[in-house]
Amino acid sequence: MQNSKKFYIDGAWVDPVVPATIDVIDPSTEQIFATISAGSKADADKAVAAAKAAFTSFSQTTKQERLELLKRILAAYNARTEEFGKVISQEMGAPLDMAISDQAGIGTGHLAQMIKTLEEFDFDYMQGQTKITHEPVGVVAMITPWNWPINQIASKVAPAIAAGCTMVLKPSEIAPLNAILFAEIMHEAGVPKGVFNLVNGDGPSVGQVLAEHKDVDMVSFTGSTRAGVIVAQSAAPTVKRVHQELGGKSPNIVLRSADLKKAIPAGVFHCFNNSGQSCNAPTRMYVPSEKMDEVIALAKVAAEKVRVGAPSDANTTMGPVVSEVQYNKIQELIQSGIDEGAELVTGGTGRPAELNSGYYVRPTVFARVQQDMRIAREEIFGPVLSILEYDTVENAIELANDTEYGLASYIQGDLEEARAIAPKLRTGTVRINRPDWDSAAPFGGYKQSGNGREYGLFGLMEFLEIKGILGYEEA
């Protein structure tokens, strides 16, 4: 990749101030396949200075000018969607077809939705004699993860552009190449100098510098709750806005009215999607106690239909997890489930028998899991499903809410009953009976799953300040 060892600052590809590199590992082979430059405080400072200078003019652009810019970005992105998918597949392990259609395709969804949102949004309105106006928050630091990389880049960049903000992006150093491609399409689309800047690097060297920076007005972070705490602490002395989408341990309540032959496989496959590396994955399945045996049988059949293999293989439905660190963490948690006495339905520790290299995890299902077991409480971020039982619906709700997280929850069964349950679940999103993805629905969490919302209007509002101009009209 031509620009892999450069940063994009002030409308140009530039060398790092201090040369240093980070290797990018293909998780399917465990081999280095690319090298990027590692940024420093000096690089972050340059990028922030460029964004600050550009804000003066970009914040004053018209809504129509920003709409036209977003349309050019969308066109440039769509021209390279397949290239995005191939890069994402290699750097984080998603099956190639899924990486093109879902991982890369979701970028199109966010950009298109923000165009629609901006077209319909009124920045100003009168409240009596007072004018209420929405203005861009300023310079935004964006720190994004590796699991759905373009999803998080697009869902931050699109509303920031729509609002009139300028930005510095620090993507995950584990899967950084898609972000370099994204910077290329921003350049192709004619984004003004300094509006979008990219600096690669690790959390302490670049991410923390951005979070602490006095000239950064907002930090938008997606990642683990542990890292989110560090970001918030780093941002606190400058009292900047902190927007976070963090971890999850999402419950999936299967009601007695549910068709188990549909609900259980759907829950299993959703949990294992993206190798289980989704913060909103339904990893805790709550089922009626008297149906546990039937559920176990159905879950076993479903899990054993998952085809683990190389992302480039057309028969693969689940690729490797992203890194050795992630692989080892998942293995340790699977072993904890065995040691704590959960019933291992299928899967377990180690790679699938036919694979002797790569960070491949066996699709694993535990049943009769107890609420206090680690596999029921910790975010595993791998293809591991815990099946727990409940006696009454009230009991299921209590158990579902018994977690430090609150990102998403799922209900399967009678619609009226599910509607009555949804308000009682302490999560930012509730999905009833496997609905289609909605790019305009708010996404974000309660409790330690973060603060603020992304997607559509809700995402746009995060990047805006609200100003009241009293006496704007005479009495």
Contact 216, 231 (CB under 8 A): no
Centre a 10 Å sphere on the Cβ of residue 265 and count the other Cβ atoms it contains.
Answer: 16
Whose CA is closest to 365, among 432, 298, 411?
298
The CA distance from 359 to 351, in Å, is: 8
Strand partners, 288: 390
Contact 295, 385 (CB under 8 A): no
- For 94, the token pair is 């998603």
The CA distance from 29 to 207, in Å, is: 28
Whose CA is closest to 318, among 249, 388, 268?
268
- For 264, the token pair is 């259980």
- For 41, the token pair is 């405080």
Contact 291, 334 (CB under 8 A): no
Q: Is 271 a catalytic residue?
A: no
List 212, 279, 389, 462, catalytic entry: 279
Contact 210, 216 (CB under 8 A): yes
List 91, 173, 212, 245, catalytic entry: 245
Distance set, CA 65 to CA 37, 379, 409 (Å):
34, 42, 39
346: left (phi over 0), alpha (psi -120 to 50) or beta: beta
Contact 444, 452 (CB under 8 A): yes
Q: Is 279 a catalytic residue?
A: yes
Angle in degrees, CA 334, 437, 248, rounded to 5: 35
The CA distance from 27 to 277, in Å, is: 13
- Taking the alpha carbons at both ends of the chain, their separation in whole angstroms is 62
Any idea which residues carry the catalytic annotation? 245, 279
